Amino acid sequence: MENYAKAIKSGVKVGVGSDNVGFPANFAANEFGQLVALGMSPMQAIQAGTKVNAELLMKEKEIGTLEVGKFADIIATKNNPLDDISELTSVKFVMKGGKVIKHE
């Protein structure tokens, strides 16, 4: 964890994700809180899972930000995750490929 904190402080691009399979979706969402605890702002952590991941995959022209012509999945939470990053562990709305797949 110390090395992650050093990397973040140094400006190294850090993305969100794992090759672990079989964990519940909110397990992965906990990574955003870990990144904030290691020194990222909540916005930087969210971008690590969207914009930065797209850049690291060299897919930034296709995914990663909400722009006309890009493919995007959208989530929503009850409260602002910029105020409390743990909101990302309790997503209330999911749209994938233009179809609503969760709405509470």
Q: For the chain, give every domain's residue range.
A: 2-6+22-103
Answer whether CATH 2.30.40 is correct for domain 2-6+22-103.
yes
What does the pLDDT look like over 74-83, one tens digit per residue? 999 999 999 9
What would you measure as the largest C-alpha separation in the chain, in angstroms? 40
Structure tokens at 18: 């794992």
Structure tokens at 22: 């079989």
Q: What is the C-alpha separation between 85 and 50, in angstroms, rounded?
A: 15
Q: Indicate the pTM of the whole model.
A: 0.88
What does the pLDDT look like over 2-24, one tens digit per residue? 998 999 999 999 998 876 677 77
